[in-house]
Structure 1
Amino acid sequence: MNLTTQKRLAADILKVGVNRIWIDPERIDEVSRAITRDGVKQLIKDGAIKAKPKKGISSYRSKKIAQQKKKGRRRGPGSIKGAKGARRPKKDEWMTTIRALRKDLKEMRDNREINKSTYRKLYKMAKGGAFKSKSYMKTYARDHDMLR
Structure 2
Amino acid sequence: MDLSLQKRLAAEILGVGESRVWIDPEAYDRVEAAITKEDIRKLIKDGIIRAKPEHSNSRARWRIRHVKRKKGRRRGPGHRKGGKYSKVSRKEQWMMKVRALRKELKKFKEREIITSKEYRKMYRLIKGGVFDSVAQLRNYIKELVEERM
* TM-score class, shorter: 0.5 to 0.7
**Any gaps of 5 or more consecutive residues in structure 2?**
92-126, 129-149
**CA gap 1:85/1:61 in 2 versus in 1, 3 angstroms:** closer
Q: Distance in 1 between matches of 2:86 and 2:59?
A: 33
Residue 2 of structure 1: aligned partner:
2
Deviations 1:1-37 (A, max 9, x none): 2111111100011111111110011111111111110
Residue 84 of structure 1: aligned partner:
85
1:42-57, aligned counterparts within 5 Å?
A: 42-57=42-57
1:33-72, aligned counterparts within 5 Å?
A: 33-72=33-72
**CA gap 1:48/1:72 in 2 versus in 1, 3 angstroms:** same
- Point out 4+ residue stretches in structure 1 off by more than 4 angstroms: 85-90
Q: Distance in 1 between matches of 2:48 and 2:63?
A: 39
TM-score, L = length of structure 2: 0.56
TM-score, L = length of structure 1: 0.56
Aligned alpha-carbon RMSD (Å): 2.1
| Alignment length (residue pairs) | 92
SS at match of 2:50: strand
Q: Distance in 2 between matches of 1:85 and 1:25?
A: 56
Contact 2:80/2:87 (CA < 8 Å) preserved in 1?
no
Cα distance, 1:80 vs structure 2: 2.4
Deviations 1:88-107 (A, max 9, x none): 576xxxxxxxxxxxxxxxxx
Residue 139 of structure 1: aligned partner:
none
